[in-house]
Amino acid sequence: MRKHFLFLLCLTFALPVFAAEVKEDPLERQTLAIAKDLRCAVCQSQPVSESNSDLARDMRAIIREQLEAGKSREEIVEYFVARYGNYVLMKPPYDQTGTLLWLAPALLLIAMAIGGWLFLRNRKDVELPPVATLSKEDRARVKAAEEAARKEDEAEK
Amino acid sequence: MLSDSISLNLVELGHFAANLAMVMALIQGLAPILARWLDEPRLASLSVSASVLVFVLTTIGGATLIHAFVTSNFSVEYVAQHSNTLLPIFYKVTALWGAHEGSLYLWVWILTLYTAIVTLRGRTRYPEHLPIILAVQGWLVVGFFGLILFLSSPFERLLPVFPQEGRDLNPILQDPGMVIHPPMLYLGYVGFSVPFAFAITALLTRWKSELWIGLTRRWALIAWGFLTVGIILGGWWAYYELGWGGYWAWDPVENASFMPWLLGTALIHSITVQERRHMLHAWNIFLVISAFALSLLGTFLVRSGVLSSVHAFSVDPGRGLYILSFMVIVLSVSFGIFMKQGRYQQARESINSMLSRESLFIWNNVLFTVACATVMLGTLYPLALDALTGSKITVAAPYFNAVVVPLFLLVLMLMGIATQVPWRKARMEKLRARLLWPSVIGLLAGAAMTIAYWPVHWTGPVGVGLVAFVATTIFTDFGRALKQRRAQLSEPMARAALKTILGNRRHYGGMIVHLGILVMAIGFVGSGLFRSEMTVAMKTGDVVEIGGERIRFDGVDAFPRANYQTVEAKFTLLNSGRIVQPERRKYPVQAAPTTEAGIDSTILRDVYVVLAEAAGDHWAVHVYVNPLVSFIWNGGIIILIGLFLTLSTRRKALSQKMPATEPVEA
């Protein structure tokens, strides 16, 4: 439905200006889709699809050639990995070089969460070492007074 | 011509001043140590006088460098390399930080500026501790001046024969965004040196934390604010200047600025726990030291050339080695002091409940620390892997997006819950009641988005749902406070709203910052998940349709500008009649042309057109429609407003008491 509407819209706009509607070359779209997953080896951490460097341009041309020759996406990616190594993959591989990298965030989160939980739990009911030589009743009274003052304070806000 | 020769050689005065500044900084660093060693306490005050002098001398050095740029004094090598006579005066001044030597100078200049401000504010507020704070800062100044003066001096001369014309400032740096991005970022990076100096002083002198943590919080907020602005401006510059349609590439140098930001965010939250509940002293000192350490790490990564990046202008092993050794010394000394003294102050209170504001702040710290460690791991992992096994891999945007985005969604969830939970202990029924409507609205928003945009990546609906959840908590909170106020005082709505906000600036400042983050999050969802892009070959008169926009190519025009040749294309957006004009600029000093994207920006979407290369009468054109990008920049502005509000509180100012009696209505 939406497509039809847009088509009509295009038609109404296109006729008076005699403009030619340009469509994207489907091969170009495929090329860029593959280039997105490959790193331009001479750039900063930029994919081949976004770089303007000569190498990236050549790589795009190669991808295009190979697509024209009927090669699949996997074959093309493999071709570049064979030449440049895993370095050329934008996404780190899940093999022995990359596993630690992928697992680390989860492990870190678990470790820190255990640390945080232990901190919270450990302190929960522990009475702290006395600050001065106040008796238990005194401290209770001070605490109660502090609490009351804070409550009053909060109520004021 | 005497004046000419003075003008030509004024930079020597600056060089001398910089050398003297380093000597003064050495005195600043040594004075308290000598005072203690010689048992002569009065000596310590030397560091106070020295710190002001160091700033004045550094400023003289910087001013002569700027003078050399403005007068196109090409006998100065740094000027000859990075400026020329055709460069607009604005960029001549800012070319100072356009390359390695000058940006280090800017770094140390800002450090001395901060030190001078600490001196001016500290003479009455914390006079006994001031010399030691300044000594810590002094050693940092010495360290950086050593690098500047001995290994990367911007004062080097090309005498007796010097060029009549300079090379040029890197064209991609000739942009207003680039003029303010580095100083803002440095103000943030270097800003963490002040909390660092306070923390080290506190460890050394067993300074009671109640007395310094409030001061440190303000400094940390200031540093965090500048860092935030610097990072957003960097993204803005990349978006406008680099022409790939995005704003954040997880470039190692971007990560280097992001890591201290993450820890800084953890810090400004956990400092509050220390202020309110007298806990986490050691942890906060650890965060302060680590945040500054990450600033140093950032400098090391950028300046040593171990990373290949758009920012890494220096590839000199000597400098890298210097910065690395400096960093190792600073870190081992400060963490050494921390290990020995870190527990000098015991917590005086404890957690009462798992469900309290302070325990949720702990979870905030857990998430931000993990995010920071993950970014660090991803940035350093390829280097370590290469060094250890020789195999090279790439860790870039796909990795960081996959691991950091889920962490940030958890942060958003926490952001909504934590503000609803009181200090000490929450009552479950009350919390449930408060979270009911926000949860319902969040779920509805997420569900609505899933249905409207199916199929969509899971982060979209979850992100939008969480944003709606948090926003609802903020607004219902504010509504509740407003209602309470109006029940007591008969005020008009607007006045009551304003008074409520101004009466608790710290709280509402923080909430406005949170709103800014939410607005940015919407921008990230829109531009990250719903971008349309296309690469087409177009000739004059062609029309392309993308993302609901129809764009007509109206041809190119070539003409010269002050210091470059430009090819400017004209595109008409047929839906709105507006025009975008992307350019390709050719600077005489550089072989490769630079591209300037043509951007038509509205609240809801940016049309972003990049002119690539010509082939016959066709031009290759990249067209992007980026939804909601403006939300990111506007979110940044909202964050700044909130931060100003928070910082506008006077420390001791008590909110005005309400009138004891209500005015009687006539």
Q: Spell out the SS3 assignment of B595-650.
A: EECEEEECCCEEEEEEEEEEECCEEEEEEEEEECHHHHHHHHHHHHHHHHHHHCCC
pLDDT of residue B278: 85
d(CA B628, CA B647): 29
Q: Cβ B534–A98 below 8 Å, yes or no? A: no
Three-state SS at B195: helix
- Cβ of A5 under 8 Å from any chain B Cβ? no
Structure tokens at B59: 């400023």
Predicted confidence (pLDDT) at residue B312 exceeds the cutoff of 60: no
Compute φ and ψ for B157, nearest 5 degrees.
-110, 155
d(CA B139, CA B200): 12
pLDDT of residue B276: 87
Q: Which residues contact B575 (CB under 8 A, 6 or more apart)?
A: B548, B549, B550
Residues 24-83 of chain A with CB under 8 A from chain B are 24-25, 28, 32, 37, 39, 44-47, 50-52
pLDDT digits (tens, 9 = 90+) for B465-500: 999 999 999 999 999 999 989 888 888 899 999 999
d(CA B193, CA B203): 15
Show residues of chain A in contact with B453, CB under 8 Å. none
Closest Cα in chain A to B620: A24
- For residue B532, give the H/E element and its range: strand B532-538
* B530 close to B449: Cβ distance less than 8 angstroms: no
Q: What percent of chain B has pLDDT over 70?
A: 95
d(CA B184, CA B228): 9
Q: Cβ B396–A17 below 8 Å, yes or no? A: no
pLDDT of residue B308: 52
Q: Which residues contact B122 (CB under 8 A, 6 or more apart)?
A: B129, B130, B133
d(CA B384, CA B618): 46
Structure tokens at B529: 């998940």
Three-state SS at A47: strand
Counting beta carbons within 10 angstroms of the beta carbon of residue B367, is it exposed (0 to 12), middle (13 to 18) or buried (19 or more)?
buried
- Provide the mean pLDDT of chain B: 89
A39 forms bridges with which residues in the sheet?
Answer: A47
d(CA B219, CA B214): 9
* Distance, CA of B166 to chain centre: 32
d(CA B425, CA B355): 6
- Chain A nearest-CA distance from B470, in A, is 22
Predicted confidence (pLDDT) at residue B663 exceeds the cutoff of 50: no
How many C-beta atoms surround the C-beta of residue A70 within 10 A?
A: 7
pLDDT of residue A133: 64
Closest Cα in chain B to A112: B366
Interval B27-55 mean pLDDT: 92
Q: Cβ A21–B310 below 8 Å, yes or no? A: no
Among the partner residues B245, B347, B396, nearest to A39 by beta-carbon distance: B396
Q: Which residues contact B268 (CB under 8 A, 6 or more apart)?
A: B217, B220, B221, B224
Mutation pick from B287, B355, B368, B393 vs chain A, by most beta carbons of A within 10 Å, is: B393
pLDDT of residue B315: 55
More confidently predicted of B561 and B269? B269
- Cβ of B366 under 8 Å from any chain A Cβ? yes
Q: What does DSSP assign to residue B153?
A: -
**How far from each other are the two terminal CA atoms of chain A, in whole angstroms?**
56
pLDDT digits (tens, 9 = 90+) for B486-495: 888 888 899 9
Three-state SS at B551: strand
Q: Which residues contact B639 (CB under 8 A, 6 or more apart)?
A: B225, B228, B512, B513, B516, B517, B520
d(CA B521, CA B517): 6
Q: How confident is the model at residue B269 (pLDDT cuts 50, 70, 90)?
A: very high
* Domain range annotation of chain A: 2-88, 99-156
Predicted confidence (pLDDT) at residue B162 exceeds the cutoff of 90: no
Strands B564-573 and B543-546, by their bridges, are unpaired
Q: What does DSSP assign to residue B392?
A: -
Q: How confident is the model at residue B659 (pLDDT cuts 50, 70, 90)?
A: very low
Residue among B606, B635, B638, B611 at smallest CA distance from B622: B611
- Cβ of B126 under 8 Å from any chain A Cβ? no
H runs (alpha helix) in B458-504: 459-488, 493-503
Q: What does DSSP assign to residue A22?
A: E
pLDDT digits (tens, 9 = 90+) for B181-225: 989 999 999 999 999 999 999 999 999 888 898 889 999 999 999
Q: How confident is the model at residue B37 (pLDDT cuts 50, 70, 90)?
A: very high
d(CA B277, CA A150): 12
pLDDT digits (tens, 9 = 90+) for B111-141: 999 999 999 999 988 998 999 999 999 999 9
d(CA B117, CA B187): 13
Interval B634-646 mean pLDDT: 96
pLDDT-flagged residues of chain A (< 70): 1-19, 123-134, 156-157
Residue among A112, A143, A114, A145 at smallest CA distance from A127: A143
- For residue B555, give the H/E element and its range: strand B549-561
**Does the domain made of A2-88 have the CATH classification 1.10.8.640?**
yes
* B418 close to B510: Cβ distance less than 8 angstroms: no
Residue count of chain A, please give it: 157
Q: Cβ B550–A52 below 8 Å, yes or no? A: no
Q: How confident is the model at residue B20 (pLDDT cuts 50, 70, 90)?
A: very high
Counting beta carbons within 10 angstroms of the beta carbon of residue A9, is it exposed (0 to 12), middle (13 to 18) or buried (19 or more)?
middle
Among the partner residues B347, B393, B407, nearest to A98 by beta-carbon distance: B393
Q: Which residues contact B290 (CB under 8 A, 6 or more apart)?
A: B263
Distances (CA, A) of B450 to A98, B137, B209, B403, B408: 33, 53, 49, 22, 20
- Cβ of B234 under 8 Å from any chain A Cβ? no
How many C-beta atoms surround the C-beta of residue B196 within 10 A?
A: 29
Among the partner residues A32, A50, A108, nearest to B373 by beta-carbon distance: A108
d(CA B407, CA A105): 9
pLDDT digits (tens, 9 = 90+) for B387-432: 888 888 889 899 999 999 999 999 999 999 999 998 888 888 999 9
pLDDT of residue A93: 85
* Domain range annotation of chain B: 1-170, 427-530+630-647, 532-627
pLDDT digits (tens, 9 = 90+) for B574-595: 999 999 999 998 887 666 778 8
d(CA B283, CA B304): 30
Counting beta carbons within 10 angstroms of the beta carbon of residue B554, is it exposed (0 to 12), middle (13 to 18) or buried (19 or more)?
middle
| Number of cross-chain residue pairs from A and B with Cβ atoms under 8 Å apart | 156
**How far from each other are the two terminal CA atoms of chain B, in whole angstroms?**
83
* Distance, CA of B498 to chain centre: 30
Helices vs strands, H then E, count in chain B: 19, 10
Torsion angle in degrees (nearest 10) through CA of B404, B407, B408, B412: 170
Q: Cβ A20–B542 below 8 Å, yes or no? A: yes
